[in-house]
């Protein structure tokens, strides 16, 4: 097993990036960084404050042969009880939000972007900002378009990566462009990715290009989201806040915040004719339990940590739900929660 601590101590990180080195945490419990409140230790946990620190970490890992996992808010993440080997990079400190003047972002690499009308407002957010913080920031300034994401846990980068969908609105409906860190010609560089409709679909984005079962693990082909810009519009502050409050209340009434969870466990498939939660309910699985992992008694598509659930219990429950639904209906439920770490 790679000794990440020793490799870091022998690297130039401490000397060249003392602030970053001081923030490194070893054997960090990942349950502190997921909404499931589940997960074993990460060998090393890092929170870079900017893209330069991120590149320094990635260069170290590439040269030392250390595996890297990148996470956002941890709201769609189930980490194995054995934890995550190698380096875990959280983007939580990349959290600045700003309004961009229309004239500042009309082209990418010399290619014109979709035209902006007079009502358009471009807001750029760091990938590590929480969706809750971004929505509140916009509301305070009378910027409309993100109200339906009020109360959505997780980060901006995670929402874009998953193409999060709330109350019939997807991130792709308001996505303008993203800054991504990518590996090209032997080095990391920042590129901008504009919205291209063909790249997006239900719970699908152009950033989901990671190989293997563990979608948190990256390789040199991965694009790492640094910031996301949204095409929004001006609106009335009170109206925006009223809509936000209504969506948050609806989430509360549906029990989204009663127990630790990752929200919806399975994607909806329109070909099935009904939502996944309804299919699970009709299969008699509402309230089904494996240890302290449980299908929520009030919603078939929410799996909760009802006490001290382990990742193994959640995985066993998910596998059993899928198997029973398949046997009863022939439908193959597709999990949307990323299962990361050492499951061997």
pLDDT tens readout for residues 76-119: 999 999 999 999 999 999 999 999 975 444 444 444 455 566 67
Among residues 11, 229, 264, 276, the one annotated as catalytic is 264
pLDDT at 116: 62
pLDDT at 78: 98
Average pLDDT over residues 178-200: 95
The span from the CA of 338 to the CA of 130, in Å, is 18
The secondary element (H helix, E strand) that includes residue 159 is: helix 156-162
**56: exposed, middle or buried (C-beta count within 10 Å: 0-12, 13-18, 19+)?**
buried
pLDDT by residue (tens digit) across 251-263? 998 888 999 999 9
What does each C-alpha distance from 253 to 109, 247, 249, 331 come to in angstroms? 46, 10, 6, 28
pLDDT at 141: 97
pLDDT by residue (tens digit) across 130-141? 999 999 999 999
The span from the CA of 310 to the CA of 319, in Å, is 14
Count of Cβ atoms closer than 10 Å to residue 115 Cβ: 8
DSSP result, 264-277 = E-B---GGGSS-HH
> How far separated are the first and last CA of the chain, in Å rounded?
13
What SS3 state is found at 59? helix
Average pLDDT over residues 308-325: 98
Q: At what angle do helices 237-253 and 131-140 cross, to 10 degrees?
A: 150
The span from the CA of 163 to the CA of 292, in Å, is 30
Q: Is 336 a catalytic residue?
A: yes
The span from the CA of 305 to the CA of 319, in Å, is 16
- Longest CA–CA span in the chain (Å) reads 60
Average pLDDT over residues 61-72: 95
pLDDT at 212: 72
The span from the CA of 30 to the CA of 46, in Å, is 12
Position with higher pLDDT, 257 vs 40: 40
The span from the CA of 76 to the CA of 71, in Å, is 10
Query: Please, where are the H alpha helices in 24-82?
Result: 51-64
Structure tokens at 332: 């193959």
Query: For 223, phi and psi rounded to 5 degrees?
Result: -100, 125
* Pairing status of strand 338-340 against strand 289-290: unpaired
The span from the CA of 222 to the CA of 61, in Å, is 14
Confidence of residue 220 (pLDDT cuts 50, 70, 90): confident
Among residues 132, 147, 313, 336, the one annotated as catalytic is 336
pTM metric for this prediction? 0.91
* Pairing status of strand 289-290 against strand 175-184: unpaired
179 closest CA partner among 168, 193, 200: 193
- The β-bridge partners of 78 are 339
pLDDT at 102: 57
């Amino acid at each position: 097993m790679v000794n990440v601590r020793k490799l870091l101590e022998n690297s130039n990180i401490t000397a060249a990036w003392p602030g970053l080195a001081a923030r490194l945490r070893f054997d960090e419990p990942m349950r502190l960084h997921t909404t499931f409140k589940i997960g074993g230790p990460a060998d090393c946990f890092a929170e870079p404050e900017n893209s330069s620190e991120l590149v320094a970490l990635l260069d170290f890992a590439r040269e030392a042969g250390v595996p890297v996992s990148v996470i956002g808010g941890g709201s769609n993440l189930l980490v194995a009880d054995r934890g995550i080997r190698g380096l875990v990079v959280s983007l939580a400190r990349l959290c600045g939000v700003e309004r961009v003047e229309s004239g500042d972002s009309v082209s990418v690499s010399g290619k014109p972007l979709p035209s902006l009308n007079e009502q358009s407002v471009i807001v750029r957010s760091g990938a590590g900002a929480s969706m809750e913080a971004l929505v509140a920031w916009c509301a305070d300034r009378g910027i409309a378009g993100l109200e339906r994401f009020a109360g959505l846990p997780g980060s901006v980068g995670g929402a874009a990566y998953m193409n999060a969908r709330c109350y019939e609105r997807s991130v792709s409906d308001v996505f303008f462009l993203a800054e991504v860190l990518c590996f090209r010609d032997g080095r990391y560089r920042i590129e901008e990715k504009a919205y291209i409709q063909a790249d997006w679909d239900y719970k699908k984005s152009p950033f989901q290009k990671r190989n293997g079962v563990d979608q948190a693990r990256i390789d040199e082909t991965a694009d790492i989201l640094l910031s996301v810009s949204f095409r929004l519009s001006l609106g009335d502050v009170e109206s925006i806040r009223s809509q936000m409050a209504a969506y948050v209340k609806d989430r509360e009434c549906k029990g989204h915040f009663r127990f630790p969870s990752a929200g919806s466990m399975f994607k909806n498939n329109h070909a099935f004719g009904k939502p996944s939660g309804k299919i699970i309910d009709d299969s008699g699985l509402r309230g089904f339990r494996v240890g302290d992992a449980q299908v929520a008694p009030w919603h078939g598509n929410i799996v909760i940590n009802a006490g001290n659930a382990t990742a193994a219990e959640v995985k066993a429950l998910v596998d059993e739900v899928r198997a029973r639904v398949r046997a009863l209906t022939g439908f193959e439920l597709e999990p949307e929660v990323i299962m990361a770490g050492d499951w061997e």
